[in-house]
Amino acid sequence: MRFENRVAVVTGGGKNIGRGIAARLASEGAHCVVAGRTEATLEACVADIEAEGGRASAIVCDVRDEESVRRLFSEIESGIGPIDVLVNNAGVEMQKPFVDVSTAEWDDLFAVNTRGVFLCTREALPRFAKSGGAIVNVASAAGLVALPLGAAYGATKAAVIQMSRALAIELRPRSIRVNAVCPGFIDTDMARKGIAAYEEIGLPVRSLIGYRQGRIGTVEEVADVVAFAASEEARFVNGQALAVDGGASVC
């Protein structure tokens, strides 16, 4: 039980990759706090974790909103205790020709994907356990390599990767490790919409994905890597961008 008696926070924890990560951390002993905008999906995630014998709590939070983020971490601190693991997973995606991206769409992508990581990390840090811990930022392979229709989305994730690297250096004296996990195409609603967008305009999806393993990835495969990065097994892994993409980013 790698996370026994640890408190883990997963933003965007109600569905898809976030839900898989929360379930994995809870299965290994963590009290997992799932945060997100939709109460129903958060409660469903908690119910599933508890049905498997795990511990979890749901707190509604909009990572774009400073006051909402402040309430989230204040509630965790007062009701549950110090944080050991923070997984910044909340994110939105968009595939669109660059010239068609509106200013509002650009701002919203950065508000969720980048500002959200900034706000959550800033609020979490004073509430981390004195012994340190781990921050895992869920970025994307789109932050490592360029994808058609992905300039705006990729820019948000590249920013998260660079933030992770810089924080790894800054927080090293506090024994808080920071790594980014970079999924490629994973079997989620978000990825399926992206694949459909590419197919609609005739782009070679199989080539874009890379298909080194002949398939897209699973939520469980991402959760495996996040759990590793958050655990003591990765105690000498810091400031890294760990691709979970079947080799697509090196094709």
Q: Mind telling me the catalytic residues?
A: 153
Return the closest-CA partner of residue 156 out of 211, 195, 108.
108
Coil/strand/helix, residue 244? strand
Question: What is the C-alpha separation between 87 and 93, in angstroms, rounded?
Answer: 18
The torsion region of residue 53 among left (phi > 0), alpha (psi -120 to 50) and beta comes to left
8: exposed, middle or buried (C-beta count within 10 Å: 0-12, 13-18, 19+)?
Answer: buried
The size of the chain, in residues, is: 251
- Judge contact between 36 and 10, C-beta under 8 A: no
- Judge contact between 226 and 237, C-beta under 8 A: no
What is the 8-class DSSP label of residue 5?
T
The torsion region of residue 114 among left (phi > 0), alpha (psi -120 to 50) and beta comes to alpha
The CA-based angle 57-63-64, given to 5 degrees, is 160
